[in-house]
Amino acid sequence: MELVAAPPARWHLPLQDGALLELWADEYGVEHGAYEFSVLVRATEQEQAEIVARTPADPRRVMVVVARLPTGSVQDVHTASKPSRDGACVCRPFSWAE
Ligand SMILES: [Zn+2]
C-alpha cells in the first residue's frame, strides 16, 4: 500500500475529555454520527480494508479510513499549523473573537 497524494495533512481533534488526538489524513467526512478520516492510497485487493471511495480511472486507487470517532467525543477539528507540544494543541485556529 502506498500513498498517492502529497503527504497527508496533520489534524488536531481536541476531545471532550481534554485529550488531544493528532493524526494525519487527506480528508475527513461525517458518516453515521462519526468523523471518518481517510487517505488516498494505491493498494492491492487484499490490502483494501475500509474503503470509502474508488477512483474511476484506476480501481487500485482507493480512499481508506484511518480513524473513526463519534462526533460527540470531539470538541473541534482543525488542520494543525504546528505539532502538538506535551500532548497539547499549540496552534491558534482562526477565531472571529480575536
Ligand atoms: Zn491544533
Q: Which candidate, 32, 29, 96, 15, places its Cα nearest to that of 67?
A: 29
Cell representation of residue 44 = 492491492
C-alpha distance from residue 94 to each of 6, 47, 81, 91, 97 (Å):
24, 38, 11, 9, 9
| Total-model pTM | 0.82
pLDDT at 34: 96
Tell me the pLDDT tens digit for each residue of 66-94. 999 999 999 999 999 899 999 899 997 55
Q: Provide the residue ranges of all domains of the chain, joining segments of one domain with +.
A: 2-79
Q: Which protein residues have their CB within 5 A of the ion that is ligand 1?
A: 12, 80, 89, 91
49-60 pLDDT per residue, tens: 788 888 888 888
The Å distance, Cα 20 to ligand 1 centre, comes to 9
Q: Residue 74: name the closest of 30, 27, 35 by CA.
A: 35
* Residue pointed to by grid coordinates 475529555: 17
Between CA 96 and CA 49 the distance in angstroms is: 40
Task: State yes or no: pLDDT of 98 exceeds 60.
Answer: no
